[in-house]
Structure 1
Amino acid sequence: MTKHSQAARRLKVLWDDLRAGDPGAVHAARKLTRRAQAELRVAEAGRQTERAWRDLRRAAAPLRDHDVAGGHLREALTELGVPADTLAYFDRTWAERRAALLAGTVWPGRPRGFDLASGWKGRARRLARQDGRKLQDSGEVALASHEAELWHAWRKRLKRYRYTLDLLGEVPAVVTDTLEALGRFQDAEVVLGLLHADPELLRYERARLIAREEVARHAAQRQVRELFPALAAQLTAPD
């Protein structure tokens, strides 16, 4: 029995808002590209459709990263008790940076809809089993390393596993909890990258902001390590 792609259907509703740069639509579209990645593995949509979804994910990434980083920075500035005029200045300059990013964004054409071919559930179960074994091994490697790229690559593969499970009906809490912690780790990496790359960005608060994100990064890593035994049991569990 075939099934029509949920990602493509939902994207159609978001499309105009996405192209206008609406933050909520950008966030939702990024998530849909990850769902589509899982769906495409059990579909017969062709490489052109796969490339279209990949291109959309890459186009939306800078705006989404900017929005996430801005949220963390503003929250930090509020916690640090900066004056109201500093917050106002941040809001104005961050909005200007976003407007420039949006102006430079080249949106690809909207990816076409596709069907999950007959037998997709069986393929999804097999892929989830294969993913689980590989994710346990790559997770052990990432958690033993201080290389952020290894953590980021593992997070991307775990996302795909999460959406494959979602296709089949239910995602265990340990998977979503681990992804949430990995997401905070990656957000800290993005914010730290911005602060280190631009010494003039919030220069009077820069040292305290860097310290806060370093704390957040280490806390997220600690949480992932604490969750990993339960996650590993899920990844290697029989159907």
Structure 2
Amino acid sequence: MSRRSEAAGRLRPLWAALTAGDPEAIHRARKLTRRAQAELRVADAGGKTERAWRDLRRAAAPLRDHDVAGDHLRQALTELDVPGDTLAYFDRTWAERRAARLAATEWPEPPPAFKLRRGWKDRARRLIRKDGERLLAAGEAVLATHDAEQWHDWRKRLKRYRYTLALLGEVPPVLTDTLEALGRFQDAEVVLELLHSDPDLLRYERARLIAREEVARNKAQGRVRELFPELARLLSVGDAGED
């Protein structure tokens, strides 16, 4: 039988806080767009609805990336025991950058509600099996390279797989652990890009911050490689459970 999208229902109470720029609302809304992406694969919603959810995800992305990068930088500065005035300067300038980014954000209209079509569970299971085969082959290729774009693309596809699995039940810990490591890898890439592209950003701590994020990036890649044999078993089986 069909059912209503859970993502659409959970987004409505967040909308005012989201468009006001609340960091937690932005984080939760971004996750809901990922859930909606999985739901839309087994829905009968049409291209207009898919574009509306895609536009929301893209609108929220710069602010979410800014918040994540800021959290990493502030934690790093604290661990490096920088002077208090350096920390205060970072807090002030980072808040100013965020305010400018929020002011430039053009929020779309709230995405419409939609229903998952009849037989959506069978459709989800077929997608999970197909995704698993492709993600396994892609993962083997990714682990053989240091290309950040390939790692990032694989992570996005794994996230879609994770949310498709979640439609049917529990998500295996190996998948969430792998995505956590891939997320830290991507966060390091974002922070390193900021530090390399803006020489004036924390210039006196820049070298130590770059070194820290490079270590974090390498550690995250190592963790993914460590988890991959177990993840490969999950992807090759593609077991989404039965009713």
Root mean square deviation, CA, Å: 0.6
> What is the alpha-carbon distance in structure 1 between the residues aligned to residue 11 and residue 141 of structure 2?
35
Partner of 2:213: 213
Task: For 1:82, give the aligned amino acid.
Answer: V
> What is the alpha-carbon distance in structure 2 between the residues aligned to residue 54 and residue 144 of structure 1?
31
Change (3 A) 1:121 1:206: same
> What is the alpha-carbon distance in structure 1 between the residues aligned to residue 205 and residue 3 of structure 2?
52
Q: Secondary structure at the match of 1:236?
A: helix
Offset, 1:238: 5.2
Offset, 1:28: 0.5
Q: Post-superposition, which runs of at least 4 consecutive aligned residues in structure 1 deviate over 3 A?
A: none
Where do 5+ consecutive residues of structure 1 fail to align?
none
Offset, 1:103: 0.1
> What is the alpha-carbon distance in structure 1 between the residues aligned to residue 162 and residue 13 of structure 2?
23
Offset, 1:71: 0.1
> What is the alpha-carbon distance in structure 2 between the residues aligned to residue 36 and residue 142 of structure 1?
26
Partner of 1:133: 133
Are positions 1:95 and 2:95 aligned together? yes
Where do 5+ consecutive residues of structure 2 fail to align?
none
> What is the alpha-carbon distance in structure 1 between the residues aligned to residue 73 and residue 39 of structure 2?
34
> What is the alpha-carbon distance in structure 2 between the residues aligned to residue 151 and residue 6 of structure 1?
29
Task: For 2:7, give the aligned amino acid.
Answer: A
Task: For 1:215, give the aligned amino acid.
Answer: V
> What is the alpha-carbon distance in structure 2 between the residues aligned to residue 164 and residue 50 of structure 1?
16
Are positions 1:18 and 2:15 aligned together? no
Are positions 1:151 and 2:151 aligned together? yes
Report if the CA contact (8 A) 2:9-2:113 is conserved.
yes
Count of aligned pairs between the two proteins: 239
Deviation per CA, 1:148-174: give whole Å up to 9, x if none. Answer: 000000000000000000000110000
Q: Secondary structure at the match of 1:113?
A: coil
> What is the alpha-carbon distance in structure 2 between the residues aligned to residue 138 and residue 13 of structure 1?
37
> What is the alpha-carbon distance in structure 1 between the residues aligned to residue 117 and residue 186 of structure 2?
34
> What is the alpha-carbon distance in structure 1 between the residues aligned to residue 143 and residue 27 of structure 2?
27
Q: Secondary structure at the match of 2:237?
A: coil
Report percent identity of matched pairs: 75
Q: Secondary structure at the match of 1:37?
A: helix
Task: Give the 5 Å matches for 1:1-239.
Answer: 1-237=1-237, 239=239
Offset, 1:203: 0.1
Task: For 2:192, give the aligned amino acid.
Answer: L
Deviation per CA, 1:46-69: give whole Å up to 9, x if none. Answer: 000000000000000000000000
> What is the alpha-carbon distance in structure 1 between the residues aligned to residue 138 and residue 3 of structure 2?
32
Offset, 1:87: 0.6
Q: Secondary structure at the match of 1:182?
A: helix
Report if the CA contact (8 A) 2:128-2:238 is conserved.
no
Report if the CA contact (8 A) 2:44-2:116 is conserved.
yes
Task: For 1:190, give the aligned amino acid.
Answer: V
> What is the alpha-carbon distance in structure 2 between the residues aligned to residue 17 and residue 238 of structure 1?
38
> What is the alpha-carbon distance in structure 1 between the residues aligned to residue 176 and residue 56 of structure 2?
24
Task: For 1:137, give the aligned amino acid.
Answer: A
> What is the alpha-carbon distance in structure 2 between the residues aligned to residue 81 and residue 145 of structure 1?
35
> What is the alpha-carbon distance in structure 2 between the residues aligned to residue 157 and residue 145 of structure 1?
17
With the length of structure 1 as denominator, give the TM-score of the two structures. 0.99
